[in-house]
């Protein structure tokens, strides 16, 4: 039996890479699952990688011109064996607007929801309770 895909929300990567004082350990547990999982068991979008870069740059006071920062974050996420990074699509922009109305969730979350639904994900790995309003089962250890 093949496990259903789970979409990994941006907050997991931000908490992990920033060493968040209260949520970093939980994020680290998820990262371990991503490292140990079969190829493509977990999924996120290229938008997640970009947003993670923006947030980590802001938290650290570094710039998106800092090649070392960019390479470090991108390679950290790309190197997770069980994670598939899917491209963000143009149609995701309009589908997310439709999902905003359907689930009363903000546009950013609906962009991720669109990508998750497109891949057939059944779970959203996130501590963002807004995803409880969607058809995905939200899990966060």
Q: Is 137 inside a domain boundary?
A: no
Range of the domain at 30: 6-128
Q: Is 104 inside a domain boundary?
A: yes
Q: What is the pLDDT along the chain (141 residues), one digit of tens a residue?
A: 456 899 999 999 999 999 999 999 999 999 999 999 988 899 999 999 999 999 999 999 999 999 999 999 999 999 999 999 999 999 999 999 999 999 999 999 999 999 999 999 999 999 999 999 999 999 997
State pTM to two decimals. 0.94
Q: Is 112 inside a domain boundary?
A: yes
Q: What is the CATH number of the domain that holds 119?
A: 3.40.50.1010
Q: Is 10 inside a domain boundary?
A: yes
Domain count, the chain: 1
Q: How many CB atoms lie within 10 A of CB 35?
A: 12
- Starting at the edge strand found earlier in the chain, the sheet holding 83-86 runs 83-86, 42-45, 6-8, 123-125, 137-139
Per-residue model confidence (pLDDT) at position 40? 83
Q: Is 133 inside a domain boundary?
A: no
Q: Is 105 inside a domain boundary?
A: yes
Per-residue model confidence (pLDDT) at position 97? 98
């Amino acid at each position: 039996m093949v496990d259903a895909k789970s979409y990994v929300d941006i907050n997991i990567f931000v908490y992990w890479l920033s060493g968040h004082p209260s949520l970093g350990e939980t994020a680290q547990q998820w990262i371990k699952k991503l490292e140990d999982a079969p190829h493509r068991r977990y999924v996120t979008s290229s938008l997640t990688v970009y947003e993670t870069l923006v947030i980590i740059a802001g938290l650290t006071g570094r710039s998106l011109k800092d090649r070392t920062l960019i390479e470090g974050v991108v390679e950290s996420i790309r190197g997770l064996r069980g994670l598939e990074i899917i491209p963000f699509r143009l149609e995701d922009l309009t589908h997310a607007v439709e999902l905003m109305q359907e689930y009363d969730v903000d546009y950013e979350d609906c962009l991720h929801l669109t990508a998750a639904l497109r891949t057939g994900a059944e779970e959203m790995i996130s501590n963002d309770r807004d995803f409880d309003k969607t058809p995905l089962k939200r899990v966060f250890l």
